Amino acid sequence: MTSHGLWSSSENTDPILNPELYPDRPRTIYQWLGYDIMRIMVLYEGYCGESFARNLRTNHPISRPDESHVAVAHWSNGNSIGISFSKIIVNSIRPRVEEIGKIPRADNVFCNLMEYPVATKIPGILIVRINSGTFCFANATFIRERILKLVKEENGTEENTKRGIRVLILDVTNVMNIDTSAIHALEELHRELISRGIQMAVTNPKWQVITKMKASKFVDKIGDGWIFLSVGDAVDASILYKMNALNNC
């Protein structure tokens, strides 16, 4: 009889590989799943001989897989990779721009309004979070238009009135990098907001992001007093700004 090394029951005394040698010992999950694990390995690699692998539970040889099964396994794997890669591209080009609100009875906890129905909006303040690690030429226009759409939806027919949006807080916590196209999009967004009587604030920018904003003079345009470390700090300053604006009306 040909010896198969690790898979030979006559030479290997491992209780997991050869449970029949230990009839009084309870079988483990590895023995029960051994057959399926080995068959998956064979199908995925597309190679096996009659003696390449044996059923860990019954010690019967696994037959060579049909070529169509191997093709299906490889096609499924490649198709899954393609779908995943497509999702990454779509999420980069059209990232989520979330409107967030404050969780009641919690100190400075702000969450997505769609995911947390208990979160509440703050009157006169729109808080938006960019859910993308990169803010660049590929998604800059989409993000700017999406934010302006949220502003229009919130204001409705109340623009430039006491109940309209007074401050837009842009949370860039998730943004790790920003390029020139994105900064230009922010400048255009800022000009559009100013024309509507809305102040813009930026919260929690990473070091690389704030460095580029300063180098491009964007911080000077919105005012260094409107850059905050947290959404909570920005909300406190925005409430004070809104109250002063209403008193001056």
Residues 138 and 232 in one domain: yes
pLDDT of residue 50: 43
**Average pLDDT value for residue range 134-143:** 94
pLDDT of residue 106: 87
pLDDT of residue 92: 77
**Domain of 225?**
94-247
pLDDT at residue 78 greater than cutoff 70: no
* Last residue within a domain, chosen from 57, 89, 121: 89
pLDDT of residue 40: 42
pLDDT at residue 76 greater than cutoff 60: no
Q: Model confidence at 232, in pLDDT bands (50, 70, 90)?
A: very high
pLDDT, one tens digit per residue, over 152-196 is: 998 874 444 456 899 999 999 999 999 999 999 999 999 999 999
Residues 11 and 56 in one domain: yes
Residues 37 and 67 in one domain: yes
Q: What is the mean pLDDT of the chain?
A: 76
* Cα–Cα distance measured from residue 9 to residue 20, given in angstroms and rounded to the nearest whole number: 9
Domain count, the chain: 2
- DSSP letter, residue 54: B
* Last residue within a domain, chosen from 74, 89, 104: 89
* Last residue within a domain, chosen from 89, 118, 151: 89
* Cα–Cα distance measured from residue 173 to residue 194, given in angstroms and rounded to the nearest whole number: 23
Residues 111 and 229 in one domain: yes
Residues 172 and 202 in one domain: yes
| CA dihedral for 153, 157, 162, 163, sign (positive or negative) | negative
Residues 99 and 213 in one domain: yes
Q: Residue 147: which CATH number?
A: 3.30.750.24
More confident call, 49 vs 116:
116
Residue with tokens 């790790």: 176
Q: Supply the Cα-derived Rg of the chain in whole angstroms.
A: 30
* Cα–Cα distance measured from residue 212 to residue 214, given in angstroms and rounded to the nearest whole number: 5
pLDDT, one tens digit per residue, over 46-73 is: 444 444 444 444 454 444 444 444 444 4
